[in-house]
Amino acid sequence: MANKRMFTMKIVDSDQFLNMSIEAQCAYFQLCMRSDDDGYLRSWKRTIRIIDAKEEFVSELISNGYLEKKSENVYKLPLFKETTGYGERDKQRHTKEYKKWRKEVLKRDNYICQMCGKPNSNIAHHKVRFRDCYDDKNIVYDIGNGVCLCKRCHKIAHGGGNYING
CB of 79 to Zn ion, least distance (A): 37
Query: Does 148 contact Zn ion by CB under 5 A?
Result: no
Binding mask 70-109 for Zn ion (x = CB under 5 A): ----------------------------------------
For residue 41, list its beta bridge partners.
75
Which of 24, 61, 150, 157 is close enough to bind Zn ion by CB under 5 A?
150
Question: Please, what is the minimum distance in Å from the beta carbon of residue 93 to Zn ion?
Answer: 21
* Single residue of 10, 118, 129, 131 touching Zn ion by CB under 5 A: 118
Q: How far, in Å, are 28, 44, 98 from residue 86 at the CA level?
A: 16, 22, 16
Comparing CA positions, the residue from 42, 38, 33 lying closest to residue 1 is: 33
> Given the complex with Zn ion, which of 53 and 149 has the nearer CB atom?
149
Q: How many residues does the chain have?
A: 166
Binding site for Zn ion (CB under 5 A): 113, 115-116, 118, 150, 153
